[in-house]
Structure 1
Amino acid sequence: MASLATFSIGPGYRNLTDRLDQSGNGGYKRENELFYATIGGESTYNLGSNWQVTPKVSYNYLLQGKQHSYLDGVTLNNTQKHGSGYELSATFSTKINNQYGIKITPFWRYWSIHKSDDVYFTYGGNTYVGSEPKNMTQEYGLNLSMVF
């Protein structure tokens, strides 16, 4: 039997740093910041044998994204204005005893972000235009937690 469904709404923030500068020649450091609004829902179901599962789904709407690219002494700061994402997860939980429990949560996160604005910069006496292209990101993972 399911527990009462729980809904959530609120602001979100994501910061992801790519350290492509550590991969060798031609790489650079890039920081991605996303400010977004999220709405989601979840409900808990008993599986028997002391286990429960809580599936969760969320929709994320991009309010503003910022790309900071650090290229050989030049910093580009691009703004992204359009995009959205989804998050799916399922938390499996059980109690080990009266004091401890464990939670295992596989998750999937997805973002689709439109092309950023263009910024102009000078390098070596020449003027260039830089932008962050339209992109899609997927993350898969597993969170293991001890509850006490």
Structure 2
Amino acid sequence: MPSARAAASMVLTRGDWETVGAAHDELALPGYPRWALSVRPDCPPALRARFGSHPKFTHRLRQAGVLDGPAQYATAHGPASRVLEVLSLGPVMFPARVRDAEDALRPLVRQHLGGRVEAWAVLAQLIDTFHGTAPELVVTAGAIA
């Protein structure tokens, strides 16, 4: 595993990821190097999918905190304050993918908060101490209001 991590740390650019993908297509990489590359946040999702789809592999990715995308992060992880803080950086840090998270949360926000000022005020009061997910926060704030 240490040598796999060392090798994975040498992948620095988009071109490097393309080279890794081509090498993997030519001759499948061993398990540890695939794992070390897959858990990197900058690993392209398409390449990660080519590395493996076995339930054990995908389970280990989930355990490591690797997700399918921003929508899953926005709806399944907590605490909500941390998730929303990370998503607020989306337009700068991951502009091409932030829309997925917005699309996942938008229907809940419209349904439970909408234009109700009271619901937004409750959300603002709860956000710092709420330990659930962002959808749970939105639903809770709407219900309280």
Please give the TM-score of this superposition, normalised by the length of structure 1. Answer: 0.19
Q: Which has the larger radius of gyration?
A: 1
Taking CA–CA contacts closer than 8 Å with sequence separation of 6 or more, which of the two structures ends up with the larger relative contact order? 2
Query: Which structure has greater strand proportion?
Result: 1
Determine which structure has the larger helix proportion and give its number. Answer: 2
